[in-house]
Amino acid sequence: MPEASRTKNKLLLGPFQGKPACQWINFGKGVCGTAAERRETVIVPDVLNWEGHIACDADSRSEIVVPILVNGETVAIIDIDCAEPSGFDEVDKNGLEVLAAVLAESCDW
């Protein structure tokens, strides 16, 4: 779950499970940076068709990124990849947004 750097508008990779990944992503770049900048969930059915996708995992085909917002600002994101196209839907989005809200309220950001 990358953590947002409030002063530099960058995401810094935090605890995660998976293959080695990018350490820093600027807001507005790739799927993660786009969700962080827009402050809204982004679902990408096929990352091969996302212009500017940052391929940290070559096996990824779809992705969902949910920002964690505190006082309207992105403080972190939840980023999940899937090896299959169209691996995420509105049910996933709704559940992850609930999780993001719980994390926003429960953690000391």
Domain carrying residue 83: 3-106
CB 19 within 8 A of CB 57: yes
Task: Give the number of domains in the chain.
Answer: 1
DSSP per-residue codes, 52-101: T---SSTT--EEEEEEEEETTEEEEEEEEEESSTT---HHHHHHHHHHHH
| pTM passes above 0.85 | yes
Question: What are the pLDDT digits (tens) for 42-99?
Answer: 999 999 999 988 887 888 999 999 999 999 999 999 999 999 999 999 999 999 999 9
**CATH at 30:** 3.30.450.40
What values do phi and psi take at 24, rounded to 5? Answer: -130, 135
List pLDDT tens digits, range 1-45: 566 655 579 998 888 888 888 889 999 999 999 999 999 999 999
Q: What is the DSSP letter of 43?
A: E
